[in-house]
């Protein structure tokens, strides 16, 4: 099964990518976002660098220094002041020390007005990644759709020749076999789901990017969509097997009923946790290996860790495609179970 794009990187380019990534992550200031600023040449805190990357943030920090930080819009609401909008730059002084702005303070990525938490609608790093991912998805798919109409009846060319086989793979190998005759009704959602997760996984591997699909809020939202579509589409046969399993003695039905009801919620929950854990774990492993160079302060360790990062990065490219495939596969399977028609007692 070929669900991933063929990489055009040579081994030397990938090694250079790993080394650049190591230099990029080494540039994070260890005291960034804390009240006390340490010395400029202090050893970076590995845990802070890793947590800063995998967690969401109100600033997008690319490298050390004023010009290496993108300050994102802060949008908060309080009953006392209503809606307030300002730049996250106001939370930091010229030395990157954390300060209070207009009564608001930022503590562990939470915004407070005094001691009271506010409703936070800010454009954070992961929200920006969400917009970027959606924009790329729209640009690519609209371009492919236009090329399909323009080259109707002809062999696909350019980007269309790359995307069309993936679309056919998702339709013929994932959606249609698991859902059955009614697959076309759910194909647009499942194609969107597959490419959204795939693009998000691949973008998250770029140096300095946000951990979009490794954010549990994003994976939870995708799982909730699957939960709603599955249960709204469920036919009478689906609900009958859940609420009153046929062919089972009455005493066992009392035991099976809560198990089946719990299963309704555990299926999307497993989707949420699987994607979140796989992507986040991969990022932590890569960052941990890159950090070995700066922990031991040795070029020998740097070469060794860069080689490991090279191969782990290749594995992460594979995982990016596998996780998109698995999420779409199980979603199709759950929908197929919900819309399956009754075939008699012998089935």
3-state secondary structure 3-68: CCCCCCCCHHHHHHHHHHHHHHHHCCCCCCCCCCCCCCCCCCCHHHHHHHHHCCCCEEECCCCHHH
Q: Are 268 and 153 within one domain?
A: yes
130 domain-assigned: yes
89 domain-assigned: yes
328 domain-assigned: yes
20 domain-assigned: no
Number of domains in the chain: 2
Q: Are 87 and 211 within one domain?
A: no
Q: Is the Cα torsion angle 35, 209, 146, 185 positive or negative in sign?
A: negative
What is the span of the domain harbouring residue 166?
A: 126-339
169 domain-assigned: yes
213 domain-assigned: yes
Specify the length of the chain in residues: 347
Is pTM beyond 0.85? Reply is no
pLDDT in tens, the chain (347 residues): 334 343 333 333 333 333 334 333 333 333 333 333 444 444 557 888 788 788 899 988 887 666 778 899 999 999 989 999 999 999 988 777 889 999 999 988 889 998 898 999 999 999 999 999 999 999 999 999 998 888 887 888 888 899 999 999 999 999 999 999 999 999 999 999 999 999 999 999 998 888 999 999 999 999 999 999 999 999 988 998 888 878 788 888 888 899 999 999 999 999 999 999 999 999 999 988 888 888 888 888 889 888 999 999 999 999 999 999 999 999 999 999 999 876 554 44
111 domain-assigned: yes
154 domain-assigned: yes
Q: Are 205 and 87 within one domain?
A: no
Task: Give the DSSP H/E element, type plus range, for residue 294.
Answer: helix 250-296
Domain limit, last residue, from 122, 152, 186: 122
Q: Are 213 and 86 within one domain?
A: no
283 and 209 Cβ atoms separated by less than 8 Å? no
Q: Are 90 and 153 within one domain?
A: no
Q: Are 103 and 158 within one domain?
A: no
Q: Are 308 and 263 within one domain?
A: yes
Q: Are 257 and 298 within one domain?
A: yes
Helix, strand, coil share of the chain (percent; to 5): 60, 10, 30
Domain limit, last residue, from 57, 91, 122: 122
Domain limit, last residue, from 107, 122, 137: 122
Q: Are 289 and 308 within one domain?
A: yes
Q: Are 195 and 278 within one domain?
A: yes
Q: Are 164 and 230 within one domain?
A: yes
Q: Are 165 and 208 within one domain?
A: yes
Separation of alpha carbons 265 and 180, rounded Å: 23
CB crowding 85-107: b at 16 or more within 10 Å, else e: ebebbebbeeebebeebeebbbe
């Amino acid at each position: 099964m070929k669900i991933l794009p063929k990489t055009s990187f040579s081994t030397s380019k990938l090694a250079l990518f790993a080394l650049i990534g190591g230099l990029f992550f080494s540039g994070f200031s260890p005291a960034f976002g804390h009240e006390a600023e340490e010395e400029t040449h202090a050893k970076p805190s590995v845990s802070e660098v890793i947590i800063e990357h995998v967690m969401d943030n109100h600033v997008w920090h690319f490298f050390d220094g004023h010009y290496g930080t993108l300050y994102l819009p802060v949008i908060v609401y309080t009953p006392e002041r209503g809606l307030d909008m300002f730049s996250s730059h106001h939370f930091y002084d010229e030395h990157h020390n954390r300060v209070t702005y207009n009564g608001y303070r930022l503590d562990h990525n939470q915004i407070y007005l005094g001691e009271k938490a506010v409703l936070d609608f800010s454009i954070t790093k992961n929200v920006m990644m969400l917009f970027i991912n959606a924009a790329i998805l729209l640009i690519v798919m609209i371009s492919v759709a236009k090329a399909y109409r323009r080259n109707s009846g002809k062999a696909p060319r350019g980007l269309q020749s790359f995307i069309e086989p993936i679309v056919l793979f998702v339709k013929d190998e994932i959606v249609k076999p698991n859902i059955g005759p009614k697959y076309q009704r759910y194909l647009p959602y499942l194609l969107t789901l597959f490419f959204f997760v795939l693009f998000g996984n691949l973008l998250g591997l770029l140096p300095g990017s946000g951990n979009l699909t490794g954010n549990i809020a994003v994976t939870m939202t995708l799982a909730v969509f699957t939960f709603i579509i599955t249960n709204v589409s469920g036919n009478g046969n689906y609900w009958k097997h859940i609420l009153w399993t046929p062919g089972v003695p009455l005493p066992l039905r009392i035991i099976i009923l809560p198990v089946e009801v719990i299963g309704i919620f555990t299926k999307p929950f497993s989707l949420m946790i699987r994607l979140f854990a796989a992507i986040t774990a991969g990022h932590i492993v890569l960052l941990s290996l890159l950090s070995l160079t700066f922990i031991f302060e040795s070029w020998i360790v740097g070469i060794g860790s860069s080689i490991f990062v090279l191969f782990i990065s290749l594995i992460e490219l594979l995982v990016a495609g596998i996780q998109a495939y698995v999420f779409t596969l199980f979603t199709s399977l759950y929908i197929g179970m919900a819309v399956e028609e009754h075939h008699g007692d012998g089935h």
